Structures are given as structure tokens and as C-alpha cells.
């Protein structure tokens, strides 16, 4: 029996993109289960949803621990019924050259950013596959296709998610399963992650290139959960990075070698010893947005076209008809 209201689980949901995704689902009437490590921030996100008329549950948990995710999922279903949508969003990173990275930092980024999505997917599949319904969204990045300097651990994790997703999608198609899985590739987002990511560079972090508000990506994540095509891209820089790496990877190497270091740093010096969230969450009530509101864009044409695919199809057909008519007149 279907839930009266859609039941959605979101990891990394206490701040940043995850918080914006939770707000987007709640705005559409879904019951939203929020998973993250920092309980105070989870409470704030829950209150925000409830004040807007939505319903939320919170689960302080580390996505690197499969058992914690399993317990959260079991409690969600005990209270609300079957999970309809699972969104894998949690991540951590380190801004550092490879030669300054520590082995445990690679391990931790891999456990959270890659295995956190694998574990979340497994927990969701354990429930969705026997019912033969449900939707799983993996939150990716342009960096799943094109690695950039100073983020080797994060880029490798996103590459790994892409490979995991390809395998899983083929397996579900092989079984003719009605469980749907999709992946959303993102550009630089205006989220608080740039104030709590571990940083070995002299200046404060910033997103590289054009910056988008988290709500831009949240709209596509919501759409992807209900229209699970193979892949969705948000932002022209994402499309540019993916296509550029396929066509001219050597040019990408050269451009990123020249621009990738300075492009990920602001002009403001980093605070020595600043707390980071690699192993423990940084305290504070961070919302969905970071400190780049004045620079961030509210709309992505690429994302909009992905959600309105009939428009480019219709335009292509119209252009074809016009060209065909011109040729027939000759």
C-alpha cells in the first residue's frame, strides 16, 4: 500500500545542499527524514521544515557507518512506512596538494563521500527491491568526470560513485526492476562547505568558476527523483567540464594547472587552526547558503532544460521542419 505522503530520506541534510533538498521535498508535501552528524543543526533544519507546514524526523548518524544508516532507515519505516525516495548527498573534502595529504585523510574522504553513498544505496535497496519500487538519487559533481588540483580525495570519491552507479543501473535494468536510480552532476554551489572543509592552502576556499545557489540543484534533485533519467546536469560549467574532458583532456590539464590553485582560493587569508568537519561536525547553525550570496546564480539554463526536455526536443523538431521546408522549396 502506498504512503499517503511521500517518504524521503536525505543524507547530509543539516546544512548546505542537503538542507535545500530537504526544503524542496517538504515544499512538495513530502515527509522528510534528515540524516547528518550534528544534532543541533538537524533540530534547526527540522524546525524550519515544520514551521513551513512540513513533517520531519532527524537521525544523528555518520554515513560512513552502515549500521547507523540501517538503524535510521528501520526507524523511518517504523514511524512513516515505506521509504519512497533516498537521496545520497553527504560529503567531506580536503583542499591540499597530494604530497601534503595524510593517508587517514584519503581514507576518511573515501568512507564518507564514496562509501556513504554506497551504504545509503544498499540500505535503500534492501527495502525497495523486495517491493519493486522506489527511487535513489546519487549526488555527483562535474568532478566525477574531471579531476581538479587540490581535491584529489574528493574527485577520486566522485569518480568512484560514477563507476558504482554505472554498475548498479545496469544490474537493475538486467533484472527489469522498477526501482529507479539516477545521478545528478553539480557545479560549484554556494554552501557552507567552504567554511568547514579542511584547508591547507594560505587563503580561504571558494567554489571554482560560476557559483549557483543550492536551491538550483535542489530543484533538479527533486525532479530527478520522480523522473529518473540516466543523468542530470546542473550548470553550464558542469556540461563544459564533462564535454571538455571527453574532447580535449590535455587542454583541461593545462588550464587547471594554470588556474586551478588560485581559482579555489579567495583573497582572504585562512584562519590558522580553523575547525574542520573531516572527523567531527563543526558546531553552529549553518543554513543552506554559504558566504557567496552576492555572486551566486539563482537559475541554471542547463538544469532547466534537463527538467523540461520536451522543449529542446520540440525545438529540434521545429528546426528540422523549417530546414526541410526550405530544402523542398529549392
Catalytic residue IDs: 154
Q: How far apart, in Å, are the Cα atoms of 16 and each of 75, 270, 289, 318, 326?
A: 24, 21, 6, 40, 51
Label the pairing between strands 198-199 and 135-139: unpaired
Q: Alpha-carbon distance 230 to 193, whole Å?
A: 27
Q: Alpha-carbon distance 46 to 58, whole Å?
A: 7
Q: How far apart, in Å, are the Cα atoms of 160 and each of 115, 163, 192, 231, 302?
A: 9, 5, 24, 16, 24
A 10 A CB-CB count for 62 gives 18
Report the alpha-carbon angle 12-18-24, nearest 5: 150
The secondary element (H helix, E strand) that includes residue 269 is strand 265-269
Q: Alpha-carbon distance 319 to 325, whole Å?
A: 10
Label the pairing between strands 188-189 and 85-88: unpaired
With beta carbons less than 8 A apart as the criterion, state whether 93 and 149 touch. no
Burial class (CB in 10 A: 0-12, 13-18, 19+), 301: exposed
Amino acid at each position: 500500500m502506498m504512503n499517503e505522503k511521500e517518504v524521503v530520506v536525505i543524507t547530509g541534510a543539516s546544512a548546505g545542499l542537503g538542507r535545500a533538498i530537504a526544503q524542496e521535498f517538504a515544499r512538495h508535501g513530502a515527509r522528510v527524514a534528515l540524516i547528518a552528524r550534528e544534532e543541533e543543526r538537524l533540530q534547526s533544519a527540522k524546525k524550519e521544515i515544520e514551521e513551513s507546514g512540513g513533517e520531519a524526523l532527524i537521525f544523528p548518524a555518520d554515513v560512513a557507518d552502515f549500521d547507523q544508516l540501517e538503524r535510521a532507515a528501520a526507524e523511518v519505516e517504523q514511524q512513516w512506512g515505506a521509504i519512497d525516495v533516498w537521496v545520497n548527498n553527504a560529503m567531506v573534502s580536503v583542499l591540499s596538494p597530494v604530497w601534503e595529504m595524510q593517508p587517514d585523510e584519503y581514507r576518511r574522504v573515501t568512507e564518507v563521500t564514496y562509501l556513504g553513498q554506497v551504504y545509503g544505496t544498499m540500505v535503500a535497496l534492501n527495502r525497495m527491491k523486495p517491493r519493486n519500487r522506489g527511487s535513489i538519487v546519487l549526488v555527483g559533481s562535474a568532478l566525477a568526470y574531471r579531476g581538479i588540483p587540490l581535491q584529489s580525495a574528493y574527485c577520486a570519491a566522485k569518480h568512484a560513485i560514477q563507476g558504482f552507479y554505472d554498475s548498479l543501473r545496469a544490474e537493475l535494468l538486467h533484472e527489469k526492476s522498477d526501482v529507479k536510480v539516477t545521478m545528478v552532476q553539480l557545479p560549484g554551489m554556494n554552501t557552507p562547505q567552504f567554511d568547514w572543509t579542511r584547508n591547507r592552502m594560505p587563503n580561504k576556499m571558494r567554489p571554482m568558476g560560476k557559483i549557483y545557489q543550492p536551491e538550483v540543484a535542489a530543484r533538479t534533485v527533486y525532479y530527478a527523483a520522480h523522473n529518473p533519467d540516466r543523468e542530470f546536469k546542473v550548470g553550464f560549467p558542469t556540461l563544459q567540464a564533462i564535454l571538455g574532458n571527453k574532447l580535449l583532456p590535455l587542454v583541461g590539464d593545462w588550464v587547471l594547472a594554470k588556474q586551478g590553485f588560485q581559482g579555489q582560493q579567495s583573497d582572504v587569508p585562512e584562519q590558522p587552526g580553523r575547525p574542520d568537519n573531516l572527523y567531527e561536525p563543526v558546531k553552529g547553525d549553518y543554513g543552506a547558503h554559504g558566504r557567496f550570496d552576492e555572486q551566486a546564480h539563482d537559475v541554471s539554463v542547463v538544469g532547466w532544460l534537463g527538467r523540461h526536455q520536451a522543449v529542446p526536443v520540440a525545438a529540434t523538431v521545429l528546426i528540422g521542419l523549417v530546414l526541410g521546408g526550405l530544402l523542398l522549396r529549392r
